Chains A and B, each alone.
Chain A
Amino acid sequence: MNSNPVDATVEALRVTLGRASRRAEVAASNLANVDTPGYRSLAVEFDDLLSPRAELEPRLTHPFHRSRSADRRVRGTLLEAPVTRMRNDGNSVDLDREMTTLGMTQGRYRTAAELLRKRFALLVYTATDGRAGV
């Protein structure tokens, strides 16, 4: 977690994109193995939310600070998904659940990217007195 994010909103949205990415690759693993005998469906969990700072009402502060952490990768815990169905061969992939989750994941990713675009545009607009951005 960045201790000095460039902008709290940017950081929150960046984490959202990271989490959605991890969810997408877990979905890929499950769907590729939808018929593999003995394969247990995977799920990924993340540490409870972002730090409270990120949830503060966004202030248009100076859009940058100086120190930044090197490792920005969003990390989570991989675990076995709750079993909603089990085949005789031990495969527990729930295709309907996977497709539903995938749709939500993609939606969140797209939304977060769009919000990021607007956030950067707003920062530039603010910084340049309305001459650029937005």
Chain B
Amino acid sequence: MSLQRAMAIAASGLTAQRTRMEVVSSNLANARTTRTPEGGPYRRREPVFAAQPFDITFDDVVGRGLRSVRLVTVTRDPTTLPLRYEPGHPDADERGFVAYPNVDPVREMVDMLSATRSYEANVTLVRSVREMLQSALQILA
């Protein structure tokens, strides 16, 4: 069961990293969005993940200690929105300032690289476990 459990846990990791990439993409795509349907400029989004007990029914200590990962929520980054003085801008306030998204493209790219690397690591694990299962069949050869 161990190898199958490993696969399932890795699957949760792939999903989590995929979500991270999607959130980063959204942030990058809306880095200059000053008007959103909810009103106001786009706010940077950030996924929140938590470790999740995989299966507490397994009656062994190792099994109970394993963790998959799940998305808890996608929060809005509360840091102050940068203001720029652009009096002619359609979204300028009465003093001529425009509020821009609190998205730093450099930081987003770093996050994207991190998510990609983590995703690849989980892929490698899936591949390794699959090869282990295949080599187990060698016993019968």
Real complex partners, A and B? yes
Contact B9 A32 (CB under 8 A): yes
Chain A contacts for B62, CB-based, 8 A: 22, 25-26, 44, 75-78
List which B108-141 residues lie within 8 A (CB) of chain A. 114-115, 117-118, 121-122, 124-125, 128-129, 131-132, 135-136, 138-141
Q: Which of the 9-residue segments B12-20, B27-35, B76-84, B88-96 touches chain A? A: B12-20
Count of chain A residues with Cβ under 8 Å from any Cβ of B?
A: 41
Q: Does B107 contact A (CB under 8 A)?
A: no
Contact B139 A25 (CB under 8 A): no
Chain B residue nearest to A19 in the complex (CB): B2
Q: Does B10 contact A (CB under 8 A)?
A: yes
Contact B124 A102 (CB under 8 A): yes
Contact B66 A25 (CB under 8 A): yes
Q: Does A125 contact B (CB under 8 A)?
A: no
List which A90-119 residues lie within 8 A (CB) of chain B. 95, 98-99, 102-103, 105-106, 109-110, 113-114, 116-117
Contact A32 B20 (CB under 8 A): no
Contact B9 A28 (CB under 8 A): yes
Q: Does B74 contact A (CB under 8 A)?
A: no
Contact B125 A102 (CB under 8 A): yes
Count of chain B residues with Cβ under 8 Å from any Cβ of A?
A: 43
Chain A contacts for B125, CB-based, 8 A: 24, 27-28, 31, 102
Contact A110 B12 (CB under 8 A): no
Chain A residue nearest to B128 in the complex (CB): A106
User: Chain A's interface: helix, strand, loop or mixed, by majority?
Assistant: helix
A38–B10 Cα distance when bound, in Å, is 19
A36–B118 Cα distance when bound, in Å, is 11
A99–B121 Cα distance when bound, in Å, is 7
CB distance from B14 to the nearest CB of A (A): 8
Contact A25 B6 (CB under 8 A): yes
The proximity string for A residues 15-26 relative to B, scoring 1 for CB distances below 8 Å and 0 otherwise, is: 001101110111
Contact A113 B135 (CB under 8 A): yes
The 8 Å CB contact of A106, one of B9, B61, B132, is B132
A residues bordering B, Cβ < 8 Å? 17-18, 20-22, 24-29, 31-39, 42, 44, 73, 75-78, 95, 98-99, 102-103, 105-106, 109-110, 113-114, 116-117, 120
B residues bordering A, Cβ < 8 Å? 2-3, 5-7, 9-10, 12-13, 16-17, 20, 48-51, 54, 60-62, 65-69, 114-115, 117-118, 121-122, 124-125, 128-129, 131-132, 135-136, 138-141
5 pairs of A and B residues whose beta carbons are closest in the complex: A32-B13, A21-B2, A28-B6, A78-B65, A28-B9
